[in-house]
Structure 1
Amino acid sequence: MKDETKTIIWPAYIDSTKSKSEGRKIPKKQAVNSPKLREITQAAKKLRLNPSVEKYKSYPPSWWEGSGRIIIDRNMSKQEVLIKLSNLINGSRKDK
């Protein structure tokens, strides 16, 4: 049975180097250039989404990449979560 309170986040969802057909789910202008699991996890923690990392999973359309995934608590729409994660990652990269 599917858990409606959890959401899976694959790095491809917010990766600006991916096309929509390759899995990107947000506009390219809001996406992140090659996001890392660690960055997504840190952003999810800041948003209090209780992230759980599965680093040995592969995004099915690009199974050979072994990108890993993050499972988070869902308290808003998936689109909202992806944009907020992306904004936090972009913001933290500009601070460096």
Structure 2
Amino acid sequence: MKDEKRIIIWPVYIDSKKTKSEGRKIAKENAVKTPKIREITQAAKKLGLNPSVEKYKSYPPSWWEGSGRVIVDKKMTKQEVLLKISNLIDGSRST
């Protein structure tokens, strides 16, 4: 059964190196290059989204890449969560 109070975030959703057809969910200019699970988790913690990590999961369309995923509380829309996480990762990298 689907959990309506949680959002799954795959790294591909905010990866600027991926195309929309490969799974990127936000605009390329808002995305970050090769985001790591650790970075997504840290950004989600800063946003108070109570992240939980599943390291050994694979994004179904690219099942051979063991990318992992982060599951967070749904406190805003998925699009808003992805943009905020991407911006926090970008900000932490540029310092």
User: Normalization by structure 1: what TM-score?
Assistant: 0.98
Q: Secondary structure at the match of 1:67?
A: coil
Structure 1 residues without counterparts, runs of 5 or longer: none
Aligned: 1:57 with 2:39:
no
Q: Secondary structure at the match of 1:32?
A: coil
Q: Give, in angstroms, the shift of residue 61 of structure 1.
A: 0.5
Q: Secondary structure at the match of 2:2?
A: coil
Question: Deviations 1:24-70 (Å, cap 9, x if unpaired)?
Answer: 00000000000000000000000000000000000000001100000
Q: Give, in angstroms, the shift of residue 3 of structure 1.
A: 1.1
Paired residue type of 1:57: K
Give 1:32's aligned residue: 32
Distance in 2 separating the partners of 1:4 and 1:64 = 28
Q: Give, in angstroms, the shift of residue 2 of structure 1.
A: 1.4
Give 2:13's aligned residue: 13
Aligned residues between the structures: 95
Distance in 1 separating the partners of 2:7 and 2:17 = 22
Distance in 2 separating the partners of 1:83 and 1:61 = 22
Aligned: 1:48 with 2:48:
yes
User: Normalization by structure 2: what TM-score?
Assistant: 0.99
Q: Secondary structure at the match of 2:94?
A: helix
Give 2:76's aligned residue: 76
Structure 2 residues without counterparts, runs of 5 or longer: none
Aligned residues with identical type, % of pairs: 76
Runs of 4+ that moved beyond 6 A:
none
